[in-house]
Chain A
Amino acid sequence: MKTDIASTIAFAGFVVFGLLVIVAGRFFAQPIRRKFTQAFLGFALLASFTAGLTQHNMWPFSSWPVLAYPMRCTTLDSPSPRIIAVDAGGHEYDIDYRAWKPISLEELLSWLNLHFSHLDPAAQDRVGKYFLDRANSAREDALSPQGLAYPNRWLGPLTAPTHMLHPAIWSHVETVPRSSFVAIRIYDESWDLDARRLDPSKVTRVLAYEYPRK
């Protein structure tokens, strides 16, 4: 909350100082205009360096903590969620990342990691039904002649990617499941990096949630 307030003040200050530069440009002579510009530059540097050096993200003055933690040789401490669709025969299928539009997959997985378990069971089931509906709708789109749309249909594959790339696994009709889905499962996956390098199937899966509940 404190960071939210500080960030808002920083952004508002940035805009106000900038507007003062415009006002000064209209009404004052060069030396005074220069002082307003100096003040704006000083504030912009103060706000941006405060965010970076304190590592408090004051977006849009960001601290840019990109990959700024150690990667261990196992992911047991931080399992990755995976949403799986299930058909009437009990077969499990991965779901194309475009199914979750407008949420990008990495935002969705982070939300699942952080917040899903804190929802009450009724809310979890509403979300579970939403996932099931989205997965079925995307499957039908992927089987249609137009195919499953990218976030921007006109840009297509030229759509700006998200920070993490995701494979478009339903780009070809033959890879799209034929039967509709009747359930959604969320697994937490973890693995040993070296073991999985030698054998991609060496993944520990724990069922975290299922819709409809059994």
Chain B
Amino acid sequence: MNILSPSRWIHDWNRFWFTPTSPRNVAAARITFAAYSIWVLASRNLAEMSALPSDFWSRVGPTSRWRYLDFPGHSSLEHALVWVAGGALVCALLGVLPRLSCFVSGILLYHLAPLESIIWIPHPYARGLTISVIALLTLAFSPCGDWWTLTRREKTLPALSADYTWPVRLIQVFLVQVYLFAGYAKVAVVGWKWASADNVRNWILYCIEEDQIRVFHSLGAWVAERPTVCLAIGVTTLVIELGMFTVLFSKTARRVLVPLVVLFHLGILLCMNLTFLNVPQLLVFVNWDAVAVWTKTKFSPARHQPTQQQQKEAKEVGAPA
């Protein structure tokens, strides 16, 4: 089929979003995002931001306040909303009213997350809850509670369905965009010279010399003394960020790049004292069907003789039985 033919594009589009899969991956995404969001929400004092002296809020524009319905002087209400959001996330984690729980928590996080930075900037990206908001809402719009829930009685796995595929795919796209846009922004604003040894070295030196953010410094100092390593880091950063989209289409890229990205974030943490909290969200790239089959095979009493059901599942997900 011609690569430029519309029917080929439609076929590829449908194959990407709507290839039937089991409910495990979407259930795993629900559990991952709920658990992660509970951790970040519990780690912040978002409600108390509303109780700050009004002078801190004096430069926040009216459109920013109305956009999120964030106003000063309502800390009691915000505390209540934090508890409701936390409760909804626990329900989402356990699979109790999963779609409603994901919807309530997604909407409330849209309101609560900007409180962290609103006194100076109305878009709190890189603070941990950006992807959570759109991922939880995406899960709310899909049948995310058909597996791995406390309330489900049936023991048999529901039939494969396209409705289990597109939400996971969309969340994967949102995560890939983090890297794609970060790379694109560097090239668009600075140009390819962002990857130069001097620029990378200066960034590392800044992050280890500014003692208000300096926790780790040895690795950064070691790297900063080696221009070749700095250049390699700069080039690798752009390659990973601009090439991360390949994990959406290639199993091999997923197996190589996702673990590499985890190491990449660990390196940034140790060299530059910058965290990327979303790392646990990369679990949505794991094939949980394969993990389930592997676990069953590994830990079932008759593990050397997989059952017919296990063999069938293994065949479907492409895992070694």
Chain A residues packing against B (C-beta within 8 Å): 1, 4-5, 7-8, 11, 14-15, 18-19, 21-22, 25, 34, 37, 40-41, 44-45, 48-49, 51-53, 55, 57-73, 75, 80, 82, 97, 101-107, 109-111, 114-115, 118-119, 123, 126-127, 130, 151-152, 154-155, 159-167, 191, 193-194, 196-197, 200
Cα(A58)–Cα(B181), bound, Å: 13
A165 touches B274 (CB 8 A): yes
**7 interchain pairs, CB-CB under 8 A:** A62-B130, A67-B182, A82-B212, A101-B45, A103-B52, A114-B120, A127-B53
Contact among B67, B173, B203 with A67 in the assembled complex (CB-CB below 8 Å): B203
CB neighbours (8 Å) of B39 from chain A are: 155, 160
A64 touches B116 (CB 8 A): no
Q: How far is the CB of A101 from chain B (nearest CB, A)?
A: 6
A1 touches B53 (CB 8 A): no
B137 touches A15 (CB 8 A): yes
Residue of B nearest to A107 (CB): B117
B125 touches A59 (CB 8 A): yes
B213 touches A60 (CB 8 A): no
A118 touches B59 (CB 8 A): yes
Cα(A33)–Cα(B42), bound, Å: 37
Q: How far is the CB of B197 from chain A (nearest CB, A)?
A: 12
B137 touches A18 (CB 8 A): yes
B110 touches A60 (CB 8 A): yes
A109 touches B206 (CB 8 A): no
B122 touches A14 (CB 8 A): no
A126 touches B53 (CB 8 A): yes
B182 touches A64 (CB 8 A): yes
B219 at the interface (CB under 8 A from A): no
B186 touches A68 (CB 8 A): yes
CB neighbours (8 Å) of A164 from chain B are: 213, 273-275
CB neighbours (8 Å) of B254 from chain A are: none
B48 touches A102 (CB 8 A): yes
B178 at the interface (CB under 8 A from A): yes
Known: A53-B184, A60-B130, A110-B121. A21 touches B199 (CB 8 A): no
Cα(A135)–Cα(B163), bound, Å: 53
Cα(A67)–Cα(B64), bound, Å: 24
CB neighbours (8 Å) of A37 from chain B are: 17, 163, 166
A115 touches B121 (CB 8 A): no
CB neighbours (8 Å) of A25 from chain B are: 163
0/1 interface trace, chain B 213-236, chain A, CB 8 Å (1 if under): 111100001001000000000000
A62 touches B123 (CB 8 A): yes
A166 touches B212 (CB 8 A): yes
CB neighbours (8 Å) of B117 from chain A are: 107, 110
Known: A48-B177, A71-B202. A63 touches B63 (CB 8 A): no
Contact among A63, A66, A103, A194 with B119 in the assembled complex (CB-CB below 8 Å): A103
Q: How far is the CB of A50 from chain B (nearest CB, A)?
A: 11
A71 touches B126 (CB 8 A): no
B186 touches A119 (CB 8 A): no
Known: A48-B174, A165-B213, A165-B274. A67 touches B119 (CB 8 A): no
0/1 interface trace, chain B 308-319, chain A, CB 8 Å (1 if under): 000000000000
Q: Across chains A and B, which 7 residue pairs bring their CB atoms closest together, nearest first?
A: A102-B45, A59-B123, A160-B43, A102-B48, A52-B181, A68-B185, A18-B141
CB neighbours (8 Å) of A107 from chain B are: 116-117, 119-120
B186 touches A1 (CB 8 A): no
B9 at the interface (CB under 8 A from A): no
Supplied contacts A52-B181, A60-B133, A154-B42, 8 more A-B pairs, CB within 8 Å: A4-B64, A18-B141, A22-B99, A68-B188, A75-B206, A102-B46, A160-B277, A196-B205
Contact among B42, B140, B170 with A155 in the assembled complex (CB-CB below 8 Å): B42
Cα(A62)–Cα(B44), bound, Å: 21
Cα(A73)–Cα(B184), bound, Å: 23
A66 touches B182 (CB 8 A): yes
Contact among A19, A44, A60, A127 with B55 in the assembled complex (CB-CB below 8 Å): A127
